[in-house]
Amino acid sequence: MAEIHTPYSSLKKLLSLLNGFVAVSGIILVGLGIGGKCGGTSLTSVLGVSTAYLLHVGFLCLVMGCATILLGCAGWYGATKESRGMLLFCILSMIIVLIVEVTAATVVLLFFPVVRDVALEHSFVTLRKNYRGYNEPDDYSTQWNLVMEKLKCCGVKNYTDFSGSSFEMTTGHTYPRGCCKSIGTVACDGRNVSTYVIHQKGCFQKLLKITKTQSFTLSGGSLGAAVIQLPGILATLLLFIKLG
């Protein structure tokens, strides 16, 4: 039996393919959102509210990703059924998503210099005031211990950040065990500041590099998703006009 071709069959097939790409872009946004939320939570606890934008944009990407996947399916349904109402809904919704993606990418790029300028002093003051020690159960100390061990660094600027801090006044130690290259050794006594014993460089530059990477990943991913979605929006608009 010969295949029956309805009007606009080629355009509908193209639109079905493009809606598949739209759904894929939604999956990308969901992945970015999860990564942004996880990374943003850790950075915010250490660097303060100046990095909270990563957490918010990550959540936004997660919501937009879920919405985009649903809109990809709705667009495919609207094209298959030749439903102008459904196509119009998809067009308007995807335009809103597109605008939000571009805005989110712009916000991330604009906020990164703020982190660089504000977070250093804020982190330094907060560390000297709130850090308690290596085995302390509070979240702030736990996060900093994790950062210093994983990134192999000590303090915000360098190991002298702990001199005169509440930590030193409480324990009498010049630095916490998290700064040591080998925590279990006798030399790691809180007083020996030899380069063979502790990591003398601070963590801020390494944390800033992580923040920069996450910022560029979020902004690049959002813009990339927008580029993937744009042909689908245009094809949907074209079919909507032709059906009229």
Mean predicted confidence (pLDDT) in 156-171: 90
**pLDDT number for residue 1:** 41
> For residue range 92-145, what is the model confidence (pLDDT) as tens digits?
999 999 999 898 888 888 877 777 777 777 788 888 888 888 887 888 888 898
Q: Is 180 helix (H, G, I), strand (E, B) or coil?
A: strand
Measure CA 80 to chain center: 36
Of residues 114 and 174, more confidently modeled: 174
Of residues 2 and 55, more confidently modeled: 55
Lowest mean pLDDT among 79-83, 120-124, 204-208: 120-124
Tell me the sheet residues that pair with 201. 158
Positive/negative CA dihedral, 152, 158, 160, 165: negative
What is the rounded CA–CA span in Å between residue 228 and residue 128? 47
What is the rounded CA–CA span in Å between residue 216 and residue 212? 6
**pLDDT number for residue 3:** 45
What is the rounded CA–CA span in Å between residue 199 and residue 191? 13
Mean predicted confidence (pLDDT) in 198-221: 86
**pLDDT number for residue 48:** 64
Helix 84-130 and helix 9-47, axial crossing angle in degrees, nearest 10: 10
**pLDDT number for residue 39:** 66
Rounded to a whole number of angstroms, the CA Rg of the chain reads 26
Mean predicted confidence (pLDDT) in 152-166: 90
**pLDDT number for residue 69:** 92
**pLDDT number for residue 81:** 86
**pLDDT number for residue 94:** 92
Query: What pTM was estimated for this model as a whole?
Result: 0.76
**pLDDT number for residue 70:** 92
Tokens 């290259």 -> residue: 181
Alpha-carbon distances, residue 193 vs 41, 88, 128, 164, 167 (angstroms) = 31, 67, 18, 15, 16
Q: How high is the mean pLDDT of the chain?
A: 84
